[in-house]
Amino acid sequence: MTLLSVRDLTVKFATRDSSVTALNRISFDLAKGERLGIVGESGAGKSITGFSLMNLLSRPGFIDNGTILFQGDDIVKMSESQMRSIRGNQMAMIFQDPMVTLNPVLTIGQQMVETLRAHRKLSQKEAEQIAIVKLREVYIPSPEDRLGQYPHELSGGMRQRIVIAIALLLDPQLIIADEPTTALDVTIQADIMELLLELCQSNKVGLILITHDLGVVSQMTERTLVMYAGKIIEAGRTREIINDPQHPYTQGLINALPQQTQPGNPLKQIPGNMPSLAAIPNGCAFNPRCEYALDHCRTTAPEIVQYAHVEVACHEVSRLHSDKSEERSA
Amino acid sequence: MSTLETIPPPSLWVRLWDSNMGYSFRRNPVAVVSLIIFVAVALMAIFAPLVAPFDPYDPAQIDIMNSEYPPIWIEGADPSFLFGTDDQGRDLWSTILYGTRLSLLIGLCAVALQAFLGITIGLIAGYVGGRLDSLLMRLADIQLSFSTLMVAIIFLAVTQAMFGSETFNQYAIYFLIVVIGVAEWPQYARTVRATVLAEKKKEYVDGARVLGFGPLRIMVRHILPNSMSPIFVISTVQVANAIISEASLSFLGLGMPPSQPSLGSLISSGFDYIFSGSWWITAIPGVVLVVLVLVINLLGDWMRDVLNPKSFKG
Amino acid sequence: MNDMNPAQPLLELKGLEKRFELDRGFLETIKFRSGKIVRERREVHAVNNISLNVERGEALCVVGESGCGKSTVARLIAGLLTPSGGEIHYEGERIDNRSRHAMMPLRKKMQMIFQNPYASLNPRMTIQQALEEPVRYHNPEMSKSDVLEKVATVMRSVGVDPSWAKRYPHEFSGGQRQRIAIARALTVDPEFIIADEPISALDVSIQAQVLNLMLEAKNQRGLTYLFITHDLSVVQHFGTRVAVLYLGSVCELADTATLFENPKHPYTKALLSAVPQLKDDHPNHIRLKGEIPTPINLPQGCPFESRCAYANDRCRVEQPRPLQQADGSIVACHAVEEDRLES
Ligand SMILES: Nc1ncnc2c1ncn2[C@@H]1O[C@H](COP(=O)(O)OP(=O)(O)OP(=O)(O)O)[C@@H](O)[C@H]1O
Ligand SMILES: Nc1ncnc2c1ncn2[C@@H]1O[C@H](COP(=O)(O)OP(=O)(O)OP(=O)(O)O)[C@@H](O)[C@H]1O
Ligand code: SF4
Ligand SMILES: [Mg+2]
Ligand SMILES: [Mg+2]
């Protein structure tokens, strides 16, 4: 059953004289309880995607076109008050910096109770009970005492767990996590990821995990979208994308990881930089950095099509594929 | 990379025009009008000897018989005096031009002195920190707790009494610059110190230290150029304040003498005639002063909005 | 003379300590505690008794979690901070108590690269100015054309396009800026580079470009690196030796290969197990329990004791000493010393 269905989502930013396209006809589906990763480099449009799904785009940004069906209703057309009853209730978001979500002048308890009582008819006592249960679920030691503490009294990892507990308070159908562990240490990141995975699996919650860490995506998600310059350039099952990437950019991204090269040898780098939104090249946005690019890559943008086990937006994917099989047989 | 290679770096003027600042300037009619007025007034004042029909400092051109002619749009006026004449028979238009020149000169020089003292002290306090910082900032607090006018009045009254009005009048312009300059340095020192504290934490300063550069070089070549935005913003306000301070002191008879009038002393000298019907001697210089101060402040407001880092969206 | 001695390490840290005072000024130290007014100074123990050698030509990586004192060590060595205790020796000579002038000859030998390429270049200086300044400053007698020549050579060697020269840093991407920052450090021909998380702020594809550049510079110029990072895959690729820091102390110091094959300290084990693997479906990372201690109230015994699964009474009261193991690594852990770890 589909929980979320995004079609041709286009987001623009109004600039001085015109506008730039931050998201260019993004389409994807998410089934109930499915875990989806969105990867890409900084500025690819990952966070903008997350914000659009919550209908939280701020001023210069706007949804230009497309539909976002959440449980069959179009979020793009919803009024702010309808949206508010969905946000936090059926859809929750976790940010990189927990202090974005947590209010520094309220105790953890006050914030959790407030959130609960805004959406449900509950007494203070009942709300506190639920809060304690949720805190226990995210492995916070002695949750009763934590209710009275302020966010700054807790460590970064603890704060992020509380943010997760708040996100889970109203048993949402979908959690959008935007780089939830980028600010944390690896040992704590591993804890938080394991926790998120466990909670999503046991509660059948859908997860959209936005990150630039391919390792995290590989361990957390079933499907993955790879974004480049505001477009989805590759989509498919995570395992297949990691083990056998089809798009030259995805290949470059995976090959650039230090693990893929013998120590001491130079890493396989992708030349150049990601274009800024105002200067996206014609044709395939990746063409100036791509070693396979031909003339048509510089003029026409490739559509995303099924290839091998995944969907890819690349004109030359078949050539690339034959190159690789030659390499393997050689 | 390829795009960077082909386009040559644009000239400074084009960069300024295209920058956020240039853009917001073009889009802000108040700022444009203010700048036009300010530039016009400043140009006329600077070129007063060329623009003015008479030289108010030349006694040979002054005829007491011409005194108190009204501006030309009022009956009984002499067509050679655009804004009429003052009580001594000087052409008011010429006198205003020369007076504005003096007011601007004193304002700018006083602010330059303030800025020199304040920036030096602020840089040192912020960069060196510790005891020296506390000491300098307490000094600034003490200085600020006296109002500028009070300090200036006491200082000028004492010097006037000491040197006698003859000598005082001769050097009045220097006294004014020094007293206004010294009285307001803490404004600069505080602003500069705050920015230095913020800039000092940035890695480029550490980078300069690792390269072995001395503190003077780091302060002047690295930190100061990055602290210019707030300095610009307060400079506009300070110029306007200095012009007003000068006018107030001159009005009180502690500033420029009537023989070399600034806007303030002009207003003051016409004040006695305001009820005898010759209102223009006070009113016209007054309007000029108000307009001048207003446009400088409007430009300052615009600059604050543009340069305020919070108004950028990262 | 010292250069003649091949056994001499390039850099030696001997019992290095750094404490930051939390309460500055007299008034802040006055506290009200259980009915009495007391004077109390709180201190952050950022670096505690660290002893390390950096050998000529190696790339020593320093890893550890946020706040464990990695940057503080780097800044102490670079002379940006003065140690509260211990000594730093460079080519056998003590450098931590030198004046700025006495440090000058060293400034050409030792350079630093910073984490944030958006803050490490002066925004008001063009690339050309930024690269010329150190050359001029350290070689006042050099002619203008020689300076330009030198700058051009460095630019070419790190792939900074000469047409960038007249532009300002804000016109460049993070990776390009880091390239320029590296070029700037190389203008004085250093032999030792301290790099404080030089690639953490960059994207994966750009990280590879910058890492390659640093490796190339190492091979061409025979540089020695002290490389701070929290990315273990980078360590494995780049480092010859690794020092694992925890709460301001070294808990394990080993050759890279040895450390990754056979980590010994319980913290190192947990750290390695926590790295998300690309192709491993069933990660089994070691979950650390317990409170993370703060460097303000240092635990009396082993710093890792509160999160360690092998902690016993001895760990709670006695600090473990760094001991050499059979395979050459140095580990500070009672459990390793007592051979209590099941492998
Ligand atoms: N207010 C804004 N005005 C103009 N452009 C914006 C604005 N906010 C974001 N953008 C642009 O939208 C693009 C996508 O941004 P987004 O935040 O989605 O990137 P991201 O993939 O999340 O990157 P990161 O990994 O850095 O978080 C970027 O190029 C960014 O410059
Ligand atoms: N100037 C300072 N004043 C007070 N405390 C400081 C100062 N600089 C660092 N500290 C403290 O010293 C400890 C070590 O900091 P340091 O910056 O060396 O950590 P780090 O290992 O580099 O962490 P990160 O990975 O976050 O960069 C931290 O607890 C920090 O809060
Ligand atoms: S479409 Fe062409 S340029 Fe784009 S990725 Fe494929 S081969 Fe490269
Ligand atoms: Mg983002
Ligand atoms: Mg650090």
Which residues does A265 contact at the CB level (< 8 Å), separation at least 6? none
pLDDT tens profile A32-60:
999 999 999 888 999 999 999 998 888 78
In a domain, C20, yes or no: no
d(CA A70, CA A5): 7
Model-level ipTM above the cut of 0.90: no
Neighbours of chain A (3+ CB pairs under 8 A): B, C
Sign of CA dihedral B67, B72, B78, B81: positive
Q: Which CATH number characterizes residue C91's domain?
A: 3.40.50.300
Report residue B208: phi and psi, to 5°.
-65, -40
- pLDDT of B313 reads 33
Same domain, yes or no, for C107 and C213?
A: yes
Q: Which one of B207, B209, B213 has the shortest CB-CB distance to C137?
A: B213
Cβ(C196)–Cβ(C113) below 8 Å: yes
Report residue A168: phi and psi, to 5°.
-90, -10
d(CA C284, CA A269): 30
Pick the last residue of a domain from C239, C269, C288: C239
pLDDT band at C252 (very low <50, low <70, confident <90, very high): very high
pLDDT tens profile B100-151:
998 999 999 999 999 999 999 999 999 998 889 999 999 999 988 888 888 8
In a domain, C107, yes or no: yes
d(CA B165, CA B163): 7
Query: What DSSP element (H or E) covers C238?
Result: helix C232-238
Domains of chain B: 28-56+83-311 (1.10.3720.10)
Domain count, chain C: 2
In a domain, C45, yes or no: no
Report residue C51: phi and psi, to 5°.
-125, 125
Amino acid at C303: P
pLDDT tens profile B254-281:
888 878 888 888 888 877 777 777 777 7
pLDDT band at A5 (very low <50, low <70, confident <90, very high): very high
Same domain, yes or no, for C155 and C124?
A: yes
Query: With a CB-CB cutoff of 8 Å, which residues 237-296 of chain A face chain C?
Result: 239, 242-243, 252-254, 256-259, 261, 263-264, 266-271, 273-274
Pick the last residue of a domain from C211, C239, C267: C239
Check B202 against C134: CB less than 8 A apart.
no
The pick from C18, C20, C200 for probing ligand 2's pocket by mutation, whose C-beta has the most ligand atoms within 8 angstroms, reads: C20
Max Cα–Cα distance, chain A, nearest Å: 71
- pLDDT of A323 reads 66
The answer to pTM > 0.95 is no
Q: Name chain B contacts of A288, Cβ cutoff 8 Å.
A: 2
pLDDT band at B5 (very low <50, low <70, confident <90, very high): very low
In a domain, C47, yes or no: no
C-alpha distance from residue B66 to each of B69, B95, B282 (Å): 7, 14, 17
Which residues does A61 contact at the CB level (< 8 Å), separation at least 6? A11, A12, A13, A14, A22, A48, A51
Q: Does B1 score more than 50 pLDDT?
A: no
Cβ(C226)–Cβ(C239) below 8 Å: no
Same domain, yes or no, for C150 and C272?
A: no
Mean pLDDT computed over every residue of chain B: 84
Q: Name chain C contacts of A215, Cβ cutoff 8 Å.
A: 275-278
Same domain, yes or no, for C230 and C324?
A: no
The residue-averaged pLDDT of A257-273 equals 87
d(CA A297, CA A316): 8
Same domain, yes or no, for C146 and C224?
A: yes
Same domain, yes or no, for C156 and C185?
A: yes
pLDDT band at B2 (very low <50, low <70, confident <90, very high): very low
Same domain, yes or no, for C199 and C337?
A: no
Check C277 against A273: CB less than 8 A apart.
no
Residue whose C-alpha is closest to residue C179's, from C200, C207, C203, C160: C160
Select from A159, A222, A253, A267 the residue whose CB has the most chain C CBs within 10 Å, as the one to mutate to test that interface: A267
Helix (H, G, I), strand (E, B) or coil at B147: coil
Q: Does C324 touch chain A (CB under 8 A)?
A: no
Q: Does B74 score more than 90 pLDDT?
A: no
In a domain, C5, yes or no: no
In a domain, C37, yes or no: no
The full 3-state SS of chain A, as one line of letters, equals CEEEEEEEEEEEEECCCCEEEEEEEEEEEEECCCEEEEECCCCCCHHHHHHHHCCCCCCCEEEEEEEEEECCEEHHHCCHHHHHHHECCCEEEECCCHHHHCCCCCCHHHHHHHHHHHHCCCCHHHHHHHHHHHHHHCCCCCHHHHCCCCHHHCCHHHHHHHHHHHHHCCCCCEEEEECCCCCCCHHHHHHHHHHHHHHHHHHCCEEEEECCCHHHHHHHCCEEEEEECCEEEEEEEHHHHHHCCCCHHHHHHHHCCHHHCCCCCCCCCCCCCCCCHHHCCCCCCCHHHCCCCCHHHHHCCCCCEEECCEEECCCCHHHHHHHHHHHHHC
Rg of chain C in Å (alpha carbons): 22
Check B226 against C122: CB less than 8 A apart.
yes
Pick the last residue of a domain from C239, C272, C304: C239
Q: Name chain C contacts of B209, Cβ cutoff 8 Å.
A: 79-80
Same domain, yes or no, for C233 and C252?
A: no
Same domain, yes or no, for C232 and C259?
A: no
Cβ(B280)–Cβ(B92) below 8 Å: yes
Q: Which one of A191, A243, A253 has the shortest CB-CB distance to C205?
A: A253
Q: Which one of C175, C211, C236 has the shortest CB-CB distance to A273?
A: C175
pLDDT band at A328 (very low <50, low <70, confident <90, very high): low
pLDDT tens profile C79-124:
999 999 999 999 999 999 888 889 999 999 999 999 888 899 999 8
* Residue range of the domain that includes C311: 248-343
Chain pair A-C, CB pairs under 8 angstroms: 114
pLDDT tens profile C161-180:
888 888 889 888 888 899 99
Distance C18 CA to ligand 2 centre (A): 10
Query: What DSSP element (H or E) covers C193?
Result: strand C192-196
The pick from C45, C65, C70 for probing ligand 2's pocket by mutation, whose C-beta has the most ligand atoms within 8 angstroms, reads: C70
pLDDT band at A326 (very low <50, low <70, confident <90, very high): low
Same domain, yes or no, for C135 and C273?
A: no
Amino acid at A55: N
In a domain, C9, yes or no: no
- Tokens at C7, concatenated: 């056994």
Q: Which of B57-66, B70-79, C224-233 has the highest mean pLDDT?
A: C224-233
Q: How far is A72 from chain C (nearest CA, A)?
A: 33
Same domain, yes or no, for C175 and C257?
A: no
In a domain, C12, yes or no: no
Rg of chain B in Å (alpha carbons): 23
Same domain, yes or no, for C193 and C278?
A: no
pLDDT tens profile A124-177:
999 999 999 989 888 787 888 888 899 888 878 888 889 988 988 888 999 999
Q: What percent of chain B has pLDDT over 90?
A: 32
Q: Does B185 score more than 60 pLDDT?
A: yes
